[in-house]
Chain A
Amino acid sequence: MNDEFLHQIRIEPPRRFIAALKARLDRTDLRRTKRMWFRHSFIAAAIGISGLAVAIMVVNLNRTPIAGSNAIAPPRPAASDGYSATPHGSSASGNGTVGPQPTAPSPNQANSSVSAGTPIKPMPDSGVLVFEGMRIMGPSALAVSLKETTRILNISRPFTEPTFSIADSDSAIAALCNVSRPIEHNFGTFAGAADAVGATRRISNEELKRCESNGVKHVAEIKLGYLAVVLARSRLYPALNLTARDLFLALAREIPDPEQPQRLIANPNVTWNQVNSALAAERIDISGPALDSDTVTVFRDLIMEPGCSTFASLAALKEKDRIRYDDVCKSLRSDGIYHGMNSDLFGQLDAHPESLALVDFRYFAANGAHLIGVSVDEVEPSSTALYAGSYPGSRPLYLYANVPRVLVVPRMREFVSVLQGSIGYGSGSSSPISGSESDRRESREAALNLPDVKL
């Protein structure tokens, strides 16, 4: 037993309890605010009534001629001031009005009257005073955690769901750094800034400098967790080792022609030995979730794209034509080699030795009794490999926050903190996996204090 051991007995309080208590405290605030509002209203009403009473008294005094006196009316303002003199030159006109009556207002008065009657327009969007809701960009897998975070924050009081745009790391970080040029992407065009972004890589020095030159001077980094996918087979059969390149050649819609690598052809591979002569002459048969699912998106990003980049001609395409590059590197074939999952997945995998299934890491970890993971580039999928960053099917997921926005975006700090705590929860497929215990401790600190990123 030592300090470390004793500290490890600590646990995270149940999130249900933390959220419920916060909601209760917020309601206490609300009740107090209401009480204060009633108290202030009462005082204001009392002051108003007293003021009115005094005003009426003063008016009555003015209207009552002092007996025996020769009251002299005060001098009238000239008509050129915008006020006409009373018809009879008397201060007490007898019609209940006191003082001068307006006629045509002067230009100045016209201006002031317009400005007084016009609702105050919000300041043009300076990025400081106008709140339009939190804007977040990042990988689609972040959506599950964002929804969970919104749900938790809504328990205490209404919370506007942030606008979330799916974007790859490059586009997301560019948006964080307030780059004004439109960013073309498969999913659309992004031109604006983002308050916080998710990225599956760390921000680079160049990007940080660009942020700074664009006025985003404080960027905080929070390591949220990991994204990971696994190709698995039944435990009845031996482990399998494939490379990202093998998997690209097995599953891509188009691949380089072996005869003319510059030319792309429809993927003709149907057996593993066509992909790589060192592999068995077994049929390629991979089942998985829908092509637009988060799991497949992560697979495209983490396995397909790196496999694609092993071809020099395709890697060069990234710089030349990003949209075409994404299309070639991330498109899965639709000829039946990749197909939907059987409702009895374990039965299917047990019955077919050649069958593989694409699943997210959490599902794989929870079903270790049935599934064995395919090693990618000779690294087995495991928590240890994932935390060490050696498993190609996983990437750390970072959140980068534009720190000054915390001061103007309501509840943004709370949002970041709850988001960090929400990682690893939620039922969506391919939602991020929380990091190791030390990772979690560090990211919790970072989410609370939002220190500037250090590279």
Chain B
Amino acid sequence: MTLHGATSEPGAMTQTSLIDWDKVYVEHAPRVYNYFRFRLGIHADIEELTSRTFEKAWRSRTQYRHELAGISTWLFKIAQNVAIDHVRARRNHLPIYEALQLPTPDTPEKDAERGSNLARLTALTKTLPDRERDLLALKYGAVANNREIAKLTGLSESNVGTLLHRLVQTLRAQW
């Protein structure tokens, strides 16, 4: 994440005021949005969860300390917490069929193809533990690299790579 003119002066306000928050939004909104799609597979709530993440981040951004965590890490930590809260609240009635209701990115044909692929993926991953679903969402939804994922999940970088490799193999076998 680029910090325009960031200095080493102490003080969170000084640091955060130098960040181009418009750019942060433009760059991260699609990543956070897709993170929730992969993580929860429920279109109906994706916009709400993305909004909640950014609203939380925006409210607390003056407290953000870039020397402690990169903006991606900070933002996805908030997104993870939002996802956890959401899963806790809805654990017993997760309507998988809602995954079929997806937004329209390109052509209707492409959209239908992506929609059905996500629905299938959601069905396959619903039995996986939360941690594995989170790994998949961070890797393929948020397009985070293994180092970022390691920071966000508390796993080692090599462990992240191994787990993801196994996960994809398992999914491929079941596809």
Contact = CB atoms under 8 A, between A and B. Distances in A.
Interface of A: 1-3, 5-14, 17-18, 21-22, 24-25, 28-29, 411, 413-414, 417-418, 437, 448-449
Interface stretch (B24-32, B72-80, B85-93): B24-32
Nearest to B113: A8
Contacts of B27: 448
B98 interface: no
Contacts of B141: 10
Contacts of B37: 9-11
Contacts of A3: 140, 168
A449 B27 CA distance: 10
B58 A28 contact: yes
B118 interface: yes
A17 to B, nearest CB: 5
Nearest to A5: B117
A21 B54 contact: yes
Contacts of A448: 23, 26-27
A414 B22 contact: yes
A298 B23 CA distance: 33
Given A1-B168, A17-B47, A25-B25, 20 more contacts: A2-B172, A3-B140, A7-B140, A10-B34, A11-B102, A11-B105, A11-B114, A12-B30, A12-B103, A13-B50, A14-B103, A14-B104, A28-B58, A413-B20, A414-B23, A417-B26, A437-B106, A448-B26, A448-B27, A449-B2
A21 B32 CA distance: 13
Interface centre among A7, A11, A414, A437, by most B CB within 10 Å? A11
Nearest 7 A/B pairs, CB to CB: A13-B33, A6-B140, A11-B105, A1-B172, A10-B34, A14-B103, A414-B22
Contacts, number: 88
A162 B29 CA distance: 25
Contact of B29 (A7, A9, A13, A28): A13
A9 B50 contact: no
A25 B38 CA distance: 24
Residue picked from A7, A10, A414, most chain B C-beta under 10 Å: A10
Nearest to A11: B105
Nearest to B103: A14
Contacts of B34: 10-11, 13
A216 B6 CA distance: 24
Label chain A's interface by main secondary structure: helix
Contacts of B104: 14
A417 B25 CA distance: 11
Contacts of B117: 5, 8-9
Nearest to B62: A32
B114 A9 contact: yes
Contact of B51 (A7, A24, A411): A24
Contacts of A10: 30, 34, 37, 140-141, 143
Contacts of A25: 25, 54-55, 58
Contact of A2 (B51, B139, B168): B168
A454 to B, nearest CB: 19
A266 to B, nearest CB: 45
Contact of A411 (B2, B22, B103, B139): B22
Contacts of A11: 34, 37, 102-103, 105, 111, 114
A34 B168 CA distance: 50
A19 to B, nearest CB: 10
B19 interface: no
B110 to A, nearest CB: 9
Given A21-B29, A25-B25, A25-B58, A9 B103 contact: no
Contact of A9 (B55, B58, B106, B121): B121
Nearest to A448: B27
